[in-house]
Protein backbone atom coordinates (compact mmCIF):
# COMPACT_ATOMS: atom_id res chain seq x y z
CA UNK A 1 0.00 0.00 0.00
CA UNK A 2 1.25 3.48 -0.85
CA UNK A 3 1.71 5.80 2.12
CA UNK A 4 -0.22 8.51 0.28
CA UNK A 5 -3.34 6.38 0.63
CA UNK A 6 -3.11 6.06 4.44
CA UNK A 7 -6.00 7.95 5.98
CA UNK A 8 -7.98 8.31 9.17
CA UNK A 9 -10.14 5.23 9.80
CA UNK A 10 -7.85 2.76 8.02
CA UNK A 11 -7.37 -0.49 9.93
CA UNK A 12 -4.11 -2.31 10.48
CA UNK A 13 -4.04 -6.06 9.82
CA UNK A 14 -4.98 -7.89 13.01
CA UNK A 15 -2.89 -10.57 14.58
CA UNK A 16 -3.30 -13.18 17.30
CA UNK A 17 -0.74 -13.85 20.03
CA UNK A 18 -0.52 -16.80 22.40
CA UNK A 19 2.41 -16.98 24.76
CA UNK A 20 3.65 -20.29 26.09
CA UNK A 21 5.82 -20.88 29.14
CA UNK A 22 9.03 -21.04 27.09
CA UNK A 23 8.39 -17.68 25.43
CA UNK A 24 7.48 -16.17 28.79
CA UNK A 25 10.62 -17.54 30.41
CA UNK A 26 12.89 -16.31 27.60
CA UNK A 27 11.26 -12.88 27.49
CA UNK A 28 11.65 -12.39 31.24
CA UNK A 29 15.25 -13.57 31.12
CA UNK A 30 15.97 -11.06 28.33
CA UNK A 31 14.53 -8.13 30.30
CA UNK A 32 15.96 -9.34 33.64
CA UNK A 33 12.51 -9.64 35.21
CA UNK A 34 12.65 -12.10 38.13
CA UNK A 35 9.02 -11.71 39.24
CA UNK A 36 7.73 -15.18 40.04
CA UNK A 37 4.22 -14.56 38.64
CA UNK A 38 5.69 -15.23 35.20
CA UNK A 39 7.25 -18.64 35.90
CA UNK A 40 6.22 -20.11 39.29
CA UNK A 41 2.62 -21.33 39.08
CA UNK A 42 2.21 -22.46 42.73
CA UNK A 43 3.55 -19.12 43.95
CA UNK A 44 1.37 -17.21 41.49
CA UNK A 45 -1.76 -19.00 42.66
CA UNK A 46 -1.05 -19.32 46.38
CA UNK A 47 0.74 -16.04 47.13
CA UNK A 48 -0.55 -13.64 44.48
CA UNK A 49 -4.04 -15.10 43.95
CA UNK A 50 -3.91 -15.38 40.18
CA UNK A 51 -5.40 -18.37 38.33
CA UNK A 52 -2.35 -18.80 36.09
CA UNK A 53 1.01 -17.43 35.01
CA UNK A 54 0.76 -13.82 33.89
CA UNK A 55 1.83 -12.57 30.48
CA UNK A 56 4.10 -9.59 30.99
CA UNK A 57 2.72 -6.13 30.34
CA UNK A 58 5.86 -5.18 28.40
CA UNK A 59 5.51 -8.27 26.21
CA UNK A 60 1.98 -7.18 25.32
CA UNK A 61 3.31 -3.73 24.44
CA UNK A 62 5.97 -5.35 22.27
CA UNK A 63 3.29 -7.38 20.48
CA UNK A 64 1.44 -4.16 19.63
CA UNK A 65 4.63 -2.65 18.20
CA UNK A 66 4.97 -5.78 16.04
CA UNK A 67 1.57 -5.04 14.52
CA UNK A 68 2.76 -1.51 13.71
CA UNK A 69 6.10 -2.61 12.28
CA UNK A 70 4.52 -5.32 10.11
CA UNK A 71 1.94 -2.85 8.75
CA UNK A 72 4.48 -0.07 8.22
CA UNK A 73 7.24 -2.18 6.70
CA UNK A 74 9.87 -0.03 5.03
CA UNK A 75 7.40 2.80 4.32
CA UNK A 76 8.25 4.76 7.45
CA UNK A 77 9.41 4.71 11.05
CA UNK A 78 7.79 4.40 14.46
CA UNK A 79 8.48 7.69 16.27
CA UNK A 80 6.46 7.37 19.51
CA UNK A 81 4.69 4.61 21.39
CA UNK A 82 2.73 4.48 24.67
CA UNK A 83 0.87 1.54 26.10
CA UNK A 84 -1.16 0.81 29.21
CA UNK A 85 -2.16 -2.55 30.61
CA UNK A 86 -5.80 -2.66 31.65
CA UNK A 87 -6.35 -6.23 32.76
CA UNK A 88 -4.23 -9.29 33.51
CA UNK A 89 -3.60 -11.76 30.72
CA UNK A 90 -2.65 -15.36 31.37
CA UNK A 91 -0.74 -18.17 29.67
CA UNK A 92 -3.13 -20.05 27.42
CA UNK A 93 -5.18 -17.02 26.45
CA UNK A 94 -5.22 -15.97 22.82
CA UNK A 95 -4.87 -12.21 22.58
CA UNK A 96 -6.15 -10.57 19.41
CA UNK A 97 -4.33 -7.41 18.36
CA UNK A 98 -5.99 -4.69 16.33
CA UNK A 99 -5.27 -1.13 15.33
CA UNK A 100 -6.48 1.76 13.26
CA UNK A 101 -5.38 5.16 12.02
CA UNK A 102 -6.82 7.94 14.18
CA UNK A 103 -5.21 10.91 12.43
CA UNK A 104 -3.05 11.88 9.48
CA UNK A 105 -1.24 15.21 9.20
CA UNK A 106 1.19 15.24 6.29
CA UNK A 107 3.83 12.60 6.93
CA UNK A 108 2.71 12.07 10.54
CA UNK A 109 0.21 9.28 11.26
CA UNK A 110 -1.36 8.55 14.65
CA UNK A 111 -2.49 5.04 15.53
CA UNK A 112 -4.66 3.47 18.23
CA UNK A 113 -4.16 -0.20 19.13
CA UNK A 114 -5.52 -2.79 21.53
CA UNK A 115 -5.15 -6.39 22.62
CA UNK A 116 -8.31 -8.29 23.60
CA UNK A 117 -8.70 -11.74 25.14
CA UNK A 118 -11.11 -14.42 23.94
CA UNK A 119 -13.92 -12.91 26.02
CA UNK A 120 -13.42 -9.56 24.29
CA UNK A 121 -11.96 -7.85 27.35
CA UNK A 122 -9.23 -5.33 26.59
CA UNK A 123 -5.93 -6.26 28.23
CA UNK A 124 -3.72 -3.55 26.72
CA UNK A 125 -4.23 -0.31 24.81
CA UNK A 126 -1.68 1.80 22.98
CA UNK A 127 -1.19 4.90 20.91
CA UNK A 128 1.60 5.39 18.45
CA UNK A 129 2.96 7.91 16.00
CA UNK A 130 4.69 6.99 12.79
CA UNK A 131 6.36 9.11 10.16
CA UNK A 132 5.73 7.82 6.68
CA UNK A 133 7.93 8.29 3.67
CA UNK A 134 5.71 9.99 1.07
CA UNK A 135 8.05 9.03 -1.75
CA UNK A 136 7.99 5.33 -1.04
Query: What's 124's DSSP letter?
Result: E
* Residue 11 neighbours by CB under 8 Å, 6+ apart: 98, 99, 100, 101
- Measure the CA–CA gap between 14 and 16, rounded to whole angstroms: 7
Question: For the chain, how many helices (H) and strands (E)?
Answer: 3, 5
Report the alpha-carbon distance of residue 10 to residue 38 in Å, rounded: 35
**How would you write the pLDDT of the chain (136 residues) with one tens digit per residue?**
555 689 999 999 999 999 999 999 999 999 999 999 999 999 999 999 999 999 999 999 999 999 999 999 999 999 999 999 999 999 999 999 999 999 999 999 999 999 999 999 999 999 999 999 876 5
pTM score of the predicted model: 0.92
Amino acid sequence: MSTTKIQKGDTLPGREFKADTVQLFLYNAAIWNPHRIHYDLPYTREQEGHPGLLIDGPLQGDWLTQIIEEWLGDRGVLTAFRYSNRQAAYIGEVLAGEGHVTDRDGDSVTLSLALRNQEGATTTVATASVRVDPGH
